[in-house]
Amino acid sequence: MVQETTSVLQFSFFILFALLGTVVSIRLRQPYVVGLLIFGMLAGPHVLSLVSDTGLILTFSELGAILLLFAVGIEFSIVRILKSSFWAVFVTAFKMSVLFIIGYEAALYFGLDLTSALFVGAMLSITSTAILFKIVAQKGMQKNKIMPLLFSMLIVEDIAAVAALTFFSNLGGDLSTATYEDKVYSVLISLGFLGAFYLLIRKPAANAIVRLTSTFSEEVMIFVSFSLCLVLSMAAAYFGLSPAIGAFLAGSIVSSLPNSRRIEREIKPLLLMFASLFFLSLGMQIDPLVILANLPFALALTGLFVLVCFLSVYSLLYITGAGSHNALFGASAMVVMGEFSLLIASLAKDEHGPLLIAAGSFGVIATAIISSFLLDRQQKLMEIGHKQMPGALRQGARSLSLYFKGLIRDFSPSGSFWRISNTCWGCMRAKLGRLALIGILMVLARLAIGLMDFTGQLQAELRAAVLIVGAFPIAYFLFGLLKDARPVLDLLSRTIARHRRGAKDESIILRDLAIALGLIFASIVLPEIESVLQLPGIFSFADELLFLFALIFLWDVYRHSRKLGMKKGGNS
């Protein structure tokens, strides 16, 4: 009886401090997450110890994480990402990569192991969707022109965060004993589970739910939605994934229902309540002594996140055509760590787990206040920027902006690159089919030769003959493919290797050669840099990417050399 009374009392403190944290945050015009983390820390076992039941804290933490991801899934939309196109994906990928590297290297500098460095890099690479929209809404800035792009960027980040959660949870939060194969297997599970869901399950499951509940009331639909969340959470746990991943997928099914917005309105208060309990429970896991003992680490992470995130987002938005005012607004709004950072930190089960939660929570509180401060001083920041930025740097930024505007326009779904690619694909499809058929016939012929009772020398000669005979049609069709792909390659080189109007072919060739040689040199040196920085294998593709761009510039050299030769031939 005493134990039951104690549990009820601690649960009452849970609700009371959640209310206090929310009310105080609203009165101070701060995101409610800030108040919940602070009041959770005060009520938790490390300060006042009003809530000391670790089992209760962990239960609310896991349940809140599940329902938080369920809410994110309801907001999730592939269509919005497709509409945002190349712009949002490019800016988000670059921003997340830079922040991941900075966080990863900072963790190594402070003496953390490679495992913890991966967690820190992932924590710093993600901006909070919930806190950003809360701050912007509180200040009445949600109608800013750049908000649709920011929302698209946040959707891309949420997808990456879900993949990161799957990655870390599938390895049990401990990568120190995991082999490279384990990591690859984890990523394949993440991609396979999400990919199979969207390709095979999402729409059929949604249609089945609509048919089953067509005659039921809205309340029953809400019950079905939560039941679906529970079932898929259990399924995800069965497959060794985080239950929160299953909740995310359940939310995506609900988002595809015809009356999803009505369901969302009905269940949103309940979801917000459990999200509040999640942040409160995370606050209860914060040990202020751990923060004080590692204050330089927490300050460094927060400072690096704010500085790098602000500069990278501002630069990327500006050079992709957002304009200085919109770029400043976007950069100020995006410097917020949040729920996914804390979710990732909570998966760290080694001795650094409490440190990551403490540093992450400190970062969430500090960055929310900093973002609010920056948004209130947009005009003053603009004046400082115009005074301090050198003219040469401003002119270079404008040139980059013009370059990326053209790049985005050509690579958009309605741009010239995709139009010409679709036309060329129709010509190339038949040749690719014939190449595949020739390859299959060659493999079958070599297998048949291996099954026959020939001598070793005769068998080798026959296999060589198959290769020689097959090489001629393969070369013929490859030449045809190259000829068909030539308009695409020409347009690709013209799009990426842009040059001034009226520039001479000789100067274009020299410029492209210099850029190509620089890219080739960078692709050779980059693996050594990655080795020195101890970057994870996910960045190993960067040197191949640089080499690919070098080939594009070399193709532009070939294109202009051909053009120059034709001019000289005509003049002679």
pLDDT in tens, 125-154: 988 776 787 778 777 777 778 877 787 788
- The answer to whether residue 306 scores a pLDDT higher than 90 is yes
Q: How many residues does the chain have?
A: 572
Whether the pLDDT of residue 2 is over 70: the answer is no
List C-alpha distances in Å: 473 to 433, 483, 503: 13, 15, 41
Say how many C-beta atoms besides its own lie within 10 A of residue 549's C-beta: 18
Residue found by looking up tokens 């040197």 in the block: 543
Residue 319 has pLDDT above 50, yes or no: yes
Of residues 123 and 2, more confidence is placed in 123
The band of 228, judged by pLDDT with boundaries at 50, 70 and 90, is confident
Give pLDDT tens digits for 511-554: 888 888 998 898 888 888 888 888 877 777 788 888 888 888 88
Given this model, what pLDDT does residue 100 score?
Answer: 92
Residues 6+ away with beta carbon under 8 Å from 408: 85, 86, 87, 90, 320, 321
Mean pLDDT of the chain: 77
Alpha-carbon 332 to chain mean position: 19
**Cβ 297 vs Cβ 110: under 8 Å:** yes
pLDDT at 307: 93
At residue 63, the 3 state secondary structure works out as helix
Structure tokens belonging to residue 219: 């309340």
| pLDDT value at residue 174 | 47
The DSSP line for 412-474 is: STTSHHHHHHHHHHHHHHHHHHHHHHHHHHHHHHHHHHHHS---HHHHHHHHHHHHHHHHHHH
> CA 401, CA 318: separation in Å to the nearest integer?
7
Burial of 113 (0-12, 13-18, 19+ CB in 10 A): middle
The pLDDT of 81-89, averaged and rounded, is: 62
CB 44 within 8 A of CB 51: yes
Please report the pLDDT score of residue 173 as a whole number. 45
pLDDT above 50 (res 122): yes
Residue 322: what pLDDT? 75
Residue 184: the pLDDT is 52
Cα separation, 449 vs 466, in Å, equals 10
Highest mean pLDDT among 45-59, 98-112, 447-461: 98-112
Which of the pair, 447 or 456, is modelled with greater confidence?
A: 447
Output the pLDDT for position 186. Answer: 58
DSSP output for 88-111: HHHHHHHHHHHHHHHHHHHHHHTT
* Distance from C-alpha of 385 to C-alpha of 398, rounded to nearest angstrom: 15
Whether 108 has a pLDDT exceeding 60, the answer reads yes
**283/395: higher pLDDT:** 283
pLDDT tens readout for residues 333-356: 899 887 778 778 878 776 777 888
CB atoms within 10 A of CB 522: 16
**Alpha carbons 525 and 102: distance in angstroms, whole number:** 20
Mean predicted confidence (pLDDT) in 485-497: 76
Residue 34 to residues 69, 72, 96, 195, 264, Cα–Cα distance (Å): 19, 20, 23, 35, 25
Dihedral sign for Cα 37, 123, 156, 375, please. Answer: positive
Contact 231, 240 (CB under 8 A): no
Q: Tell me the per-residue pLDDT of 27-60, one tens digit each, with 9 for 90 and over.
A: 877 777 778 888 888 888 888 888 887 778 878 7
pLDDT range class, residue 195, cuts 50, 70, 90? low
Determine how many CB atoms are found less than 10 A away from the CB of residue 514: 11
CA gap 128, 279 in Å, rounded: 13
Mean pLDDT, rounded, for 110-115: 85
Identity (one letter) of the amino acid at 40? G
Fold of the CATH domain 2-388? Na+/H+ antiporter like fold (1.20.1530)
Separation CA 17–CA 23 (nearest Å): 10
Residue 158 is classified by DSSP as: H
Model confidence band, residue 310 (pLDDT cutoffs 50, 70, 90) = very high
Q: At what angle do helices 54-75 and 260-284 cross, to 10 degrees?
A: 150
Question: CA-CA distance, 61 to 347, in Å (whole number)?
Answer: 11
R_g of the chain, CA atoms, integer Å:
28
- Residue extents of the structural domains in the chain: 2-388, 416-571
- Rounded CA gap, 559 and 207, in Å? 52
3-state secondary structure 361-389: HHHHHHHHHHHHHHHCCHHHHHHHHHHHC
More confident residue, 262 or 107: 107
pTM over 0.85: no
Q: For 229-253, what is each residue's pLDDT tens digit? A: 888 888 777 766 667 777 877 887 7
pLDDT of residue 127: 85
pLDDT of residue 180: 44
Closest CA to 62 of 238, 244, 236, 240: 244
Neighbours of 185 (CB within 10 A): 14
pLDDT higher than 60, residue 467:
yes
Q: What is the pLDDT of residues 168-185, one digit of tens each?
A: 776 554 444 455 445 555
* pLDDT(303) > 90: yes
